[in-house]
């Protein structure tokens, strides 16, 4: 396992209490970063923060921009200016055909996964530009590239994350700020609780490696993208698909 030096860096990990975000928080803290755990579940965020050397739990719903602004202000006061953002918070939503998909549910998924990505990226960018340093990694999904049937809201929202990441990466390319995203295949996290078993089986059937992604494997790629060693690559999309991705 490669180790990266994050000494003196302040990182925000949304959805950092568990799953891929939790694994990333562990690696960032092990490298010396001060980590803000932004999560809608404050109790879980507190548990994760307590397990790390220097961490601060923050309760936030990333779909609420005013709440995100408040979370950022609290983080800066507690830890300092944000150097690293790993945006892992997201929801799968229900599985249904487009004809049967509830309008409110579609809006909810996009509000968290896509608008939430915009919100958290927006609040950290100004400070990164002032300091001429930043590393942003947004967690998209292979569904955003391929489109999973009966998951139109999730697929569309994650496709939006990919396009948003490419746009912001190009905006900031003249500075020492990188903005990339990863497109994981399914990992067995609590997000599976939102899915029907037949949909879980479908996702597994699409992965040539024949197994789900481990969150530690995702963290291995993400922490490099969040490190100073990633000094050139930006506006990129990195697959974690176990061979599923075809482009």
Relative orientation angle of helices 65-79 and 116-131, to the nearest 10 degrees: 40
Answer yes or no: are the C-beta atoms of 16 and 25 closer than 8 Å.
yes
Identify the active-site residue in 133, 154, 202, 247: 154
Of 247, 141, 231, which is closest to residue 195 (Cα–Cα)? 141
State the pairing for strand pair 55-59/84-87: unpaired
Helices and strands, counts by H and E, the chain = 9, 7
- For the chain, the maximum distance between any two Cα atoms, rounded to a whole number of angstroms, is 51
Q: Which helix (H) or strand (E) holds 12?
A: strand 10-14
Torsion angle of C-alpha atoms 25, 27, 32, 33, degrees rounded to 10: -30
> 227: Cβ–Cβ under 8 A, 6 or more apart, which residues?
4, 5, 6, 31, 135
Does the annotation count 154 as an active-site position?
yes
How far is it, in rounded angstroms, from Cα 24 to Cα 49? 13
Geometric angle at alpha carbon 162, from 65 and 225, rounded to 5°: 90
Catalytic residues: 154
């Amino acid at each position: 396992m490669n180790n990266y030096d994050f000494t003196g860096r302040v990182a925000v990990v949304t959805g950092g209490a568990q799953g891929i975000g939790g694994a990333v928080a562990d690696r960032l803290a092990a490298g010396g970063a001060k980590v803000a755990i932004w999560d809608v579940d404050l109790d879980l965020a507190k548990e994760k923060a307590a397990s790390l050397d220097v961490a601060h739990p923050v309760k936030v719903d990333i779909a609420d921009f005013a709440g995100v602004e408040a979370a950022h202000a609290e983080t800066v006061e507690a830890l300092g200016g944000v150097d690293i953002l790993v945006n892992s918070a997201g929801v799968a939503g229900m599985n249904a055909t487009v004809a049967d998909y509830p309008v409110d549910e579609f809006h909810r998924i996009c509000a968290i996964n896509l608008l939430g990505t915009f919100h958290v990226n927006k609040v950290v960018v100004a400070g990164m530009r002032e300091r001429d340093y930043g590393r942003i990694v947004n967690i998209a999904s292979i569904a955003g590239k391929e489109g999973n049937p009966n998951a139109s809201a999730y697929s569309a929202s994650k496709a939006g994350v990919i396009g948003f990441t490419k746009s912001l990466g190009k905006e900031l390319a003249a500075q020492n700020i990188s903005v990339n995203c990863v497109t994981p295949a399914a990992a067995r996290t609590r997000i599976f609780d939102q899915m029907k078993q037949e949909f879980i089986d479908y996702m597994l059937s699409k992965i040539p490696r024949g197994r789900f992604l481990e969150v530690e494997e995702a963290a291995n790629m993400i922490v490099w993208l969040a490190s100073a060693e990633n000094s050139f690559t930006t506006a990129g999309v990195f697959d974690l698909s176990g061979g599923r991705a075809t482009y």
